[in-house]
Amino acid sequence: MKKHPTFKFIKHTKIWFIISLLVIALGIFGMINNKSQTGQALSLGIDFTGGSLMEFDFEAESVDRDALREVIEGVYPESVSQVTITHEDSYIVQLKELSQEQLTQVNTSVEAELGSFELLRFTTIGPKVGATLKRKAFVSLTIALVAIVLYIAYAFRKIPKRVSPWRFGFSAILALAHDILITLGIFALLGLEIDIYFITALLTIMGFSVHDTIVVFDRIRENLQRQKREQSFGDIADISLNQTLARSINTSISTLFPLLALYIWGAPSIQTFVFALIIGILVGTYSSIFIASPVLTIWQEAKRKRS
């Protein structure tokens, strides 16, 4: 095996773990704070809670958001959960499920109080449909995680017998859990809405992150075949990380450029989805380098010390 100048990633494992734990703890604090203030740790969209969504485009240049809430709640008390203003100066209102009669009353009152408008969207999702979507989202994430463990264990089945292929799979899953927790925490801190598109973003993030992790793990597998007696598993992990570092960073940067363009110039309706992808790719790149391989190394070194 050729000697490579290596940065000692594994030596600084505690630093990487502390950084991650601090970010995760901050996100959990945001969830707890949201729970105490709104009754929900995360801001769930109507996809999961059920309800109605209305988007108003007023002829007037400026309409007060609180005034819009008050007008709607004057017709339908305590119905509005959220009012947001898009970059195109339209107003998105999320509220309890409206009947057709209530929708007509709301439209009449809003026009009378705030002036003419165009109703760009009106969407209603029943609570049963929302509960079904929530369950299916959880099931899809669970199936994806299990499938990833099984695939990695199978793909690494020819690893030297001193290393269990299952350790590769579960280390990758811990890195994915890290990515999901941080992404959820950032959304909780910023009060961003969790909808079905967010679940799609999470599944995409998982695919990107595990792909990056597998590249590192595959290099570890190759280097284990040429491992010298004086080299520890941590040494092999360091060499492998240094060999794949440039590739991981270049792949992430080339992916982030189009996402940033979509976030800045794309339609407002997809900005939250794109933002989730941006966060996930940044965190996924970090975890594939600073979390997955150190976890695998700690696990493997612990086994070696016991034997």
Q: In three state form, how does the secondary structure of 80-127 look?
A: EEEEEECCCCCEEEEECCCCHHHHHHHHHHHHHHHCCEEEEEEEEECH
Token code pair at residue 100: 């057709």
pLDDT band with cut points at 50, 70 and 90 for residue 53: confident
- What's the confidence (pLDDT) of residue 5? 53
Angle at 55 between CA 54 and CA 58, to 5 degrees: 130
Say whether pLDDT at 137 is over 60: yes
**Torsion, CA 158, CA 160, CA 162, CA 163, rounded to 10:** -60
Mean pLDDT of the residues in the chain: 86
Determine the Cα–Cα distance for residues 106 and 108; give it in Å rounded to an integer. 5
The reported pLDDT for the residue numbered 304 is 64
Residue with structure tokens 């899953």?
173
State pLDDT tens for residues 71-97: 888 888 877 877 877 767 788 888 888
Confidence at 1, pLDDT banded by 50, 70, 90: very low
Query: What pLDDT, on a 0 to 100 scale, did the predictor assign at position 20?
Result: 96
DSSP-derived secondary structure letter, 270: G
Rg (CA), the chain: 24
Domain locations in the chain as residue ranges: 51-125, 129-306
Cα–Cα distance between 188 and 191 in angstroms, integer?
Answer: 5
Q: What is the pLDDT of residues 9-49, one digit of tens each?
A: 999 999 999 999 999 999 999 999 988 887 788 888 777 77
CATH of 51-125, picked from 3.40.720.10, 3.50.50.60, 3.30.1490.20, 3.30.70.3400, is: 3.30.70.3400
pLDDT higher than 80, residue 253:
yes
Pairing of strands 193-194, 43-44: parallel
- Between 241 and 42, the higher pLDDT residue: 241
86's tokens:
């898009």
Find where tokens 């007008």 sit. 71
- Band the pLDDT of 127: cuts 50, 70, 90: low
The percentage of the chain sitting over the pLDDT mark of 90, rounded to a whole number, equals 32
Whether the CB-CB separation of 102 and 75 falls below 8 Å is answered with yes
Q: Helices 196-224 and 127-155 sit at what angle, rounded to 10 degrees?
A: 10
Contact, 71 vs 114, CB < 8 A? yes
In terms of pLDDT, which residue wins out, 50 or 34? 34
CA-based torsion, 62, 67, 69, 73: positive or negative: negative
Residue range 160-170: mean pLDDT, rounded? 80
Which residues touch 20 (CB under 8 Å, ≥6 apart)? 178, 182, 286, 287, 290, 291
HSE-up of 303 (CA within 13 Å, CB side)?
13
Specify the pLDDT at position 179.
94
Q: What is the CATH number of domain 129-306?
A: 1.20.1640.10
Q: Which of 52, 54, 71 is nearest to 63 (CA)?
A: 71
287/130: higher pLDDT: 287
What average pLDDT does this structure show over 250-254?
A: 92
> In 3-state terms, what secondary structure has residue 225?
coil
Write out pLDDT tens, residues 180-232. Answer: 999 999 999 998 888 888 888 988 888 888 888 999 999 998 888 888 878 88
The band of 306, judged by pLDDT with boundaries at 50, 70 and 90, is low
Give phi and psi for 69, each to the nearest 5: -60, -45
